[in-house]
Structure formats: C-alpha cells, structure tokens
Amino acid sequence: MSKVLVFIYGVIAYLIFFASFLYLIGFLANYLVPKGIDDGLDGNVFAAIITNLVLLSIFALQHSIMARPGFKAWWTKFVPASIERSTYVLFSSLVLFALYYYWQPMTNYIWYVENETARMVIWAVYGLGVLIVLLSTFMIGHFELFGLTQVLRNYLNKGEVEASFRSPGFYKLVRHPIMTGFIIASWATPEMSQGHFLFALVSTIYIVVALRLEERDLVDSLGEVYRKYQKDVPQLFPFFQPRNSKDK
C-alpha cells in the first residue's frame, strides 16, 4: 500500500471514529441523532435484552481482542504496522455504529427526575463526563491514540514513536481517566430507562474486566515503573484505592 493511500486510510478511519464518538454523545442523551438509546417502539423485553447483550458483547470482544499484543503481532503480518491502530479504530467505530442501529429500546424508567434544577445538574455531570473523555485523549496524544500520528509519520518517512510512560493531567489523579469519563457519562442521565441501565451496567462491568487485561499488558511492557504507578494512583476514581491494589 502506497504511503499516500496509507495516509488517506488513516484520515478516513479517524473521521469515522470521530463521527461515532459524536453520535455516542447524542445516543446516550437521546438528542440530535436519528436514533437515541430510547428511541423506537418497545418490543419483546426478553428479545431486546438478548439483542442488546449480543451487541455489547461484540463490541467488548472486538475492542479487547484487537488490543492484545499477541493479536497485534499476528495482525501486522497481514496489514502494515502504520495502519494497525487506524484499523483497530475503524473496526471499533463500525461496531459502534452497528450497535446504534440495531439497539432495541427498553423505555420503562428506573428513575425519572422531574425537578428542572436537578435535571440541569445531571446533564452538567453528563457533559463533564464527555469532556473528561475528550480531554484525556489529548493529554496522552489524541492523534496517536487514534492512528493519525502513525500514518503521518509513515508518509513523512519517520520511524515509529518510541513508547514511553508518562502521566500528565488527569493521569496524575487516576490511571484511566478516559474510562472514568465514560462511566460518568453512561450513568449521568435524569431519565434512566431499562435499556440505558443495561448499557451503563454492562459497559461498566466490561471496563472493569478489560482494564485488568490492559494493566497486565502494561506491567509486562513497562515493568516496575507501572507497578509503582498502580500503587500510587487509583485506577478509576480519585481517593479510591482498593487495599489489594496498594499491596501489589
């Protein structure tokens, strides 16, 4: 694949990712998107639960399997290393769009906040969660995280960026602020439907499980420097550090 095509591919993958991210904001808020998480007619509840669990599981499996070092080593035998990250981002985004399209609404409310002031506060928390996600990506290199840096360096005949450990900004407070922001945004709604609750619950469980795999890889890659980081900085929420984490 020529360097120009690699670069174009990376840009397209990034734009599709950014579209999926913007859609997710509206999807969870049921606002300004063709189909929000609660849009549509309720059908069979059991069928809706199974469908939505399958969709969430597909995303979780794709997101985790393609992120593993062993898969990357195998995958880059078939695709250029310069587009490995872009391909991961592209697949993740396409799976997200499939989730949006096929999601089955379950609109009975678990809670519904009527007080206007309380609703404004909750939506502000939701916006804070989204902002934490976005700002956290820029703190560690937004364009590298989503593959643009790699395809640009390939186009400019520059080598790969050498991986190094750092903990800027929010990463001084928690080890995974992107996931912290996503959890906040998933749960912060004044209108928690059964479908939204299922999404938030399964997503949170997935994050907890996936982070164990990711941190195992980080320890293997970075060694003692990351073990110390685990001891010193909470995983997801400031001031909450499980005792077993401190004792690692």
In sequence order, which residues have a C-beta less than 8 Å from that of residue 52 and are 6 or more positions away? Answer: 103, 104, 106, 195, 198, 199
pLDDT digits (tens, 9 = 90+) for 72-94: 888 888 888 889 999 999 999 99
72 domain-assigned? yes
Say whether pLDDT at 115 is over 70: yes
Query: Is 68 inside any structural domain?
Result: yes
Domain count along the chain:
1
SS3 content of the chain, % helix, strand, coil (to 5): 70, 5, 30
Residue 43 lies in a domain: yes
Cβ(68)–Cβ(216) below 8 Å: no
Given a cut of 70, whether residue 245 has pLDDT beyond it is no
Give the tens place of pLDDT for each residue, 23-61: 999 999 999 999 999 998 888 999 999 999 999 999 999
pLDDT at residue 164, rounded to an integer: 73
| Within-domain flag for 247 | no
Tokens linked to 206: 């997935």
In a domain, 246, yes or no: no
Secondary structure (3-state) at 108 = coil
What CATH number does residue 126 fall under?
A: 1.20.120
Question: What is the reported pLDDT for 138?
Answer: 95
Determine, yes or no, domain membership for 20: yes
Residues 123 and 194: their CA atoms lie apart, in Å, by 19
Quick check: is 78 in a domain? yes
Q: What is the pLDDT of residues 146-180, one digit of tens each?
A: 999 999 998 888 877 666 788 889 999 999 999 99
Euclidean distance between CA atoms 152 and 83, whole angstroms: 10
**pLDDT above 70 for 62:** yes
Q: Which residues contact 49 (CB under 8 A, 6 or more apart)?
A: 106, 198
Q: Which residues pair with 192 in a beta bridge?
A: 111
Note whether residue 191 is domain-resident. Answer: yes
Domain that holds residue 114: 3-241
